[in-house]
Chains A and B, each alone.
Chain A
Amino acid sequence: MSLDVAAVKADFPLLAREVHGTPIVYLDSGATSQKPRAVLDAMNRYYETINANVHRGAYHIAELATIASEDARRTVARFIGAGDEHELVFTKNATEAINLVAHSWGRTNLTEGDVVLLSLLEHHANIVPWHQLAEERGIEVRWIPLTDDGCLDLTDLDHLLDGVKLVAVTAVSNVTGAIPPVRQLADAAHAVGALCLVDGSQYVPHLATDVTELGCDFLAFTGHKMCGPTGIGMLWGRRELLDAMPPFLGGGEMILDVRRDGFTPNVVPWRFEAGTPPIAEMIGIGAAVDYLEGLGMDAVRKHEVSLTDYALRTLGDRFGDDLLIHGPTDTTHRGGILSMCLRDIHAHDLSQVLDQHGVCVRAGHHCAKPLMRELGVTSTSRASLYLYNDESDIDALGDALDEAARFFDF
């Protein structure tokens, strides 16, 4: 099955708008994706017909709201190949999901001298929580270096794994699109008795995901990058690990009993979901998964690989050495993320000119400063592709880059 991109585009109301008098060319799905009408409708329907708090009221619409939001949990769990929906915790975003692991699992299991092994591709969301733990607990944060083409350099992996308790890596770099060998890393972690956390923020929206195949112990991802709403993220964890972990935040929903002298935490996943959950957002992410499954994740991936290939080829032809695109050239090992430097035009200036042509790209360090230092740049302009992009978007990007080159032609 291949993707009918024109039909897909028509599913996304925002893509019909114009900016500065030209049709929008949205190339920033790595930051956040647009939302299909099906998701917006599902969330509206909740508010218009069954809005009530969940797990509380015994009245009809409260029951319907509880069922709808818990159905969403089952849908998302199935989407990532989790056998048990209790293994899926809803959080605010991927950042909170990783923080949950750092606070709950990390504080219980890590002591001074223990090592958390990260890759140099990581987003700050998978760096800072470990730095915080290092400050608090004296753990060591260690880094997997990169090869010249921006992939992980695993030649010294055995040595790097010495003393490691957790390997925490991204499954797709949000800067270079590189796809590290997560399975190999998870197996290597397990071989030394360590666990493996995967940041799937840029993976789950784009590639068919199966936690058993990934081989990891935790998977963090975020709703708004996969056609879902903001305000909802997900942590999947193996059941026996989650069962043994203490609560993260305290309050309502996460308890079985509260007494004057203490409390008894709820079972998972609700133990980790303190307070009223983002009900509309749970329903929204469920609808987003239904939408993605309707298209088929294999078709989505196939489309993105061929579009990335088209982009690398045509932009390479048009700009030659003037345009540096970071990351691996083999599109079977990269996601649809193009971090670009056009001559020495600053990313901020470049994206400003692109914006005048309706082309939305992200300029900056992409919350991955250790990686940027490794690449020897302070910022890049990043175009990131998704299921609704087509060759005309890449051509528009090329035209706008042309204009920028002309404008800053010193």
Chain B
Amino acid sequence: MPGLEDLYREVILDHYRNPRNRGELETPPALMAEGFNPLCGDEVKVYVQLDGDTITDVRISGQGCSISQSSASMMTTVVIGRTIDEARGTLRSFKQMMSIHEHGLDGQDSALDGSTEVPSGLGDLEALRGVVKFPVRIKCATLGWNTFDQALAEADS
């Protein structure tokens, strides 16, 4: 049975208590997208500042649970300073980590014990790996990322 400590790792709680890069950016020039978690009513806004292909700043505003807030906070620390392509690569790796290939009900999490292939190089973000053991919380962990992805899509259009 997965326990609370699988979900609430210390680094997650740290980002929740002290979220990095909270705030807003002026739009334009910054891009902005708004994301909703229809399950719990959480709302997040992600602001992205680009210089050519490089992400120079990202800000997060809105409310959410510890998982959505810390995941978005960690995301900002990882993607700022990267190119759009690099950031999208990290996004793909993260979402791969968050996808469950199969999971048993009633806590029989045979495929969730880390035996599935998880991309490495995610740094602190790997602390969120335990979230897949709590399937309803996956949407929380990916909310900021999907919203970030939407904001980047603005750059393409």
B8 / chain A contacts, CB cutoff of 8 Å? 349, 407
In the assembled complex, the Cα of A186 lies from the Cα of B8 at a distance in Å of 50
Q: Most chain-A Cβ atoms within 10 A of its Cβ — which of B4, B7, B64, B137?
A: B4
A353 / chain B contacts, CB cutoff of 8 Å? 4
B13, B17, B39, B64: the one contacting A346 at CB < 8 Å is B64
B13, B40, B66, B107: the one contacting A365 at CB < 8 Å is B40
In the assembled complex, the Cα of A363 lies from the Cα of B17 at a distance in Å of 21
Chain B interface residue number, banded: 20 to 34
> Which residue on chain B has the smallest CB distance to residue A403?
B4
Q: Closest CB of chain A to B82's CB: distance in Å? A: 29
In the complex, per-residue mask of A332-372: 1 if CB is within 8 Å of any chain B CB, else 0 = 00000000000000111100110010000001110001001
Chain A interface residue number, banded: 10 to 19
Q: Closest CB of chain A to B103's CB: distance in Å? A: 16
A2 / chain B contacts, CB cutoff of 8 Å? none
Q: Most chain-B Cβ atoms within 10 A of its Cβ — which of A347, A363, A379, A408?
A: A379
In the complex, per-residue mask of B116-129: 1 if CB is within 8 Å of any chain A CB, else 0 = 00000000000000
Given A378-B63, A410-B17, A348:B1 Cβ within 8 A:
no
> Which residue on chain B has the smallest CB distance to residue A348?
B65
Is B41 a contact partner of A349 (Cβ separation < 8 A)? no
A346 / chain B contacts, CB cutoff of 8 Å? 63-66
In the assembled complex, the Cα of A410 lies from the Cα of B17 at a distance in Å of 8
In the assembled complex, the Cα of A365 lies from the Cα of B42 at a distance in Å of 9
Is A369 a contact partner of B41 (Cβ separation < 8 A)? yes
Is A352 a contact partner of B7 (Cβ separation < 8 A)? yes
B39 / chain A contacts, CB cutoff of 8 Å? 364
Given A352-B137, A378-B63, A347:B4 Cβ within 8 A:
no
A365 / chain B contacts, CB cutoff of 8 Å? 40-41
- Interchain pairs with CB closer than 8 A, number: 48
Is B107 a contact partner of A20 (Cβ separation < 8 A)? yes
A21 in contact (CB, < 8 A):
yes
Q: Closest CB of chain A to B27's CB: distance in Å? A: 23
A21, A349, A356: the one contacting B66 at CB < 8 Å is A349
Q: Most chain-A Cβ atoms within 10 A of its Cβ — which of B17, B41, B140?
A: B41
Q: Closest CB of chain A to B66's CB: distance in Å? A: 5
> Which residue on chain A has the smallest CB distance to residue B39?
A364
B4 / chain A contacts, CB cutoff of 8 Å? 352-353, 356, 407
In the complex, per-residue mask of B1-26: 1 if CB is within 8 Å of any chain A CB, else 0 = 10110011000010001000000000
In the complex, per-residue mask of A355-397: 1 if CB is within 8 Å of any chain B CB, else 0 = 0100000011100010010000011000000000000000000
In the assembled complex, the Cα of A378 lies from the Cα of B44 at a distance in Å of 12
In the assembled complex, the Cα of A158 lies from the Cα of B7 at a distance in Å of 53
Given A346-B65, A348-B137, A21:B1 Cβ within 8 A:
yes
A348 / chain B contacts, CB cutoff of 8 Å? 40, 42, 65-67, 137, 140
B107 / chain A contacts, CB cutoff of 8 Å? 20
Q: Most chain-B Cβ atoms within 10 A of its Cβ — which of A364, A378, A407?
A: A378
In the complex, per-residue mask of A255-291: 1 if CB is within 8 Å of any chain B CB, else 0 = 0000000000000000000000000000000000000
Q: Closest CB of chain B to A200's CB: distance in Å? A: 25
Contact residues of B between 34 and 80, Cβ < 8 Å to A: 39-43, 63-67
> Which residue on chain A has the smallest CB distance to residue B43?
A378
5 extra interface residue pairs, beta carbon distance < 8 Å, beyond A348-B40, A348-B42: A348-B140, A365-B41, A372-B41, A379-B42, A408-B66
Interface residue ranges, B against A (CB under 8 Å): 1, 3-4, 7-8, 13, 17, 39-43, 63-67, 107, 134, 137, 140
User: What are 22 pairs between A and B in contact, CB < 8 Å?
Assistant: A346-B64, A346-B65, A347-B40, A348-B66, A348-B137, A349-B8, A352-B134, A352-B137, A353-B4, A356-B4, A364-B41, A365-B41, A369-B41, A372-B41, A378-B41, A378-B42, A378-B63, A379-B41, A379-B42, A408-B66, A410-B13, A410-B17
